Structure 1
Amino acid sequence: MPDALTAPGWTHVYSGKVRDLYAHAGHLTLMLVVASDRVSAFDHVLEPGIPGKGALLTRLTHWWFERLAVPNHLAVGDDLPAVAAELADRAMLVRRLDMLPIECVVRGYLTGSGWAEYQASGTVCGIPLPAGLHDGDRLPEPLYTPAFKAPLGEHDENISFERSVELVGLERATQLRDASLAIFAAASAIAAERGVLLADTKFEFGTDPATGVLTLADEVLTSDSSRYWDAALYAGGGPNRMDSFDKQIVRDWLAAHWDRTGEPPALPAEIVERTAARYRELIDRLCA
């Protein structure tokens, strides 16, 4: 894992594939989340990163938080610690939450790992679907397919709703499902107004330690946590109808040039530039 960034006044406590987490001794209820330019695929952090990616992810998360009528973890108030200017465009000052161990995935279209499972068994995460669907087809209704969050470097484990009940209890599992589907519906409508389809996404939630209120956390509806497609291109059909505004270019190149043994090869400059352009295009489409 690459070294975390230096954040004056903050102590580094954790690094994930993309984000670095910091604590502040004078503000124990707060955390600083910094999105780096690192890019990952197939559970590996790749070299080089995507220039400007961290700032784009942070900007898009803030943009969505402003439009979603749900509690989120952004810290607000007058007595907040300063964030270094060089980190400001890719940092979020957030409240500490008791994070829940479930990744809340919502799928509006049949693609990716869901398509692979459907071809084999006619199901997605064990949920039966009608026969005759094709890759990229819109599902009869969005599916909530939770996953158990695995330790860093391991695959998240798809689980049933019943298993999520065992992990967090019926009331909380139901809240997670209902909140995820409601946010997905709201975000899909907003994206559609801008000519973009939200194909699928994943949310993470925690609870406020003082009130127990379910709270949306982490990055939200970014091109790292979601698939977005161009609505006009999708409607036109053809082999490129599912070109996504994310790192699929990286995945495709890596799949063609690496057998997933040993360390992955460095990304060519052309792949980095094309990927950065796709991230920027999504921002331009949604936030204009």
Structure 2
Amino acid sequence: MKLIYKGKTKDVYSLDQHQVLLKFKDDVTGEDGVFDPGANTVGLTIDGAGKSGLKMTKFFFERLSELGIATHYISADLDEVSMVVKEAVPFGKGLEVICRYRAVGSFYRRYAAYCQEGDTLDGLVEITIKDDERGDPTISDDTLDMLGILSKPAYVQLKELTKKICDVIKAELAKKDLELYDIKLEFGLDKATGDLLLIDEISGGNMRVYKNGNYVAPMDLEKDFLGA
């Protein structure tokens, strides 16, 4: 295998037939030793975090596949803490799509003059560009189109697909009395076919989940949700 990219929480290796292998690490994003799914830097290392994230990711990708939703997922190896996926082409240098059901995190910090922390949001979709140097700024559909990153019709498709996926994830979590406050997804185009795919991971590391009003940390979430 050839190493393509060393990421914050995963390393990416090239395989044959437009496939890549993602090797999950125990590093998680955050600041000053505190986990934050929206942070741009590795904040801490938690033993077992990679395997925990992969277990959640495997569950959700397989559930979405059952519903006919296209993702890059092919297979997962929990012992090797790795996942084989279809090779995908990002939009621009990469976009992050956030779906929000509660006003928390950066949304609340930006709009605190207009809402209370924890206020209900109806699956609000925001898009940010992946740019650590500039703090992953939010970007509008007009700007995405003007800069040639994502056309307006593609934006509408992406937004609708995001809400569909996140509603599935929210409903699955609710079965265990867990409430999804927000989640960060990534999308790309299948390098072989050009189809729109959900990529990256779906784990406690890229979502905020609460139970009875209390925040559930990523590894506790995996244990609570999957009964590990």
Q: TM-score, normalised by structure 1?
A: 0.68
Q: Find the residue that maps to 1:157 and give its secondary structure.
A: coil
Q: Which residue of 2 aligns with 1:29?
A: 18
Q: How many residues align?
A: 212
Q: Which residue of 2 aligns with 1:114?
A: 107
Determine which structure has more spread, i.e. the larger CA radius of gyration: 1
Distance 2:193 2:41 in 1: 37
Q: Find the residue that maps to 1:32 and give its secondary structure.
A: strand
Contact kept? 1:111, 1:135, Cα under 8 Å: yes
RMSD: 2.0
Distance 2:134 2:81 in 1: 26
Q: Which residue of 2 aligns with 1:57?
A: 53
1:162 paired with 2:159, answer no
TM-aligned CA deviation for residue 154 of structure 1: 5.1
1:73 paired with 2:34, answer no
Q: TM-score, normalised by structure 2?
A: 0.85
TM-aligned CA deviation for residue 134 of structure 1: 1.8
User: What is the correspondence of 1:1-288 to structure 2 with a 5 Å cutoff?
Assistant: 10-24=1-15, 27-42=16-31, 43-46=40-43, 49-68=45-64, 69=67, 70-75=69-74, 88-100=79-91, 101-120=94-113, 122=114, 133-139=115-121, 141-150=122-131, 155-166=135-146, 167-220=149-202, 222-230=203-211, 233-234=212-213, 241=214, 243-246=215-218, 279=219, 281-288=220-227
Superposed CA offset, 1:224-279 (max 9, x none):
1100100xx22xxxxxx4x2323xxxxxxxxxxxxxxxxxxxxxxxxxxxxxxxx1
Q: Which residue identity lines up with residue 45 of structure 1 in the other structure?
A: V
Q: Find the residue that maps to 1:158 and give its secondary structure.
A: coil
Distance 1:148 1:46 in 2: 20
Superposed CA offset, 1:23-68 (max 9, x none):
13xx151111011011232433345x20000001111100001111
TM-aligned CA deviation for residue 94 of structure 1: 1.0
Superposed CA offset, 1:154-189 (max 9, x none):
521111232233321112111111100111111111
Q: Which residue identity lines up with residue 29 of structure 2 in the other structure?
A: S
Q: Structure 1: 5+ residue runs without aligned partners?
A: 1-9, 77-82, 123-132, 235-240, 247-278
Superposed CA offset, 1:64-90 (max 9, x none):
0111121111236xxxxxx9x8x7441
Superposed CA offset, 1:119-143 (max 9, x none):
24x2xxxxxxxxxx4211222x121
Contact kept? 2:189, 2:197, Cα under 8 Å: yes
Q: Which residue identity lines up with residue 71 of structure 2 in the other structure?
A: N
In terms of fraction of residues, the more strand-rich structure is 2
Query: Identity percentage over the alignment?
Result: 26
Q: Which residue of 2 aligns with 1:258?
A: none
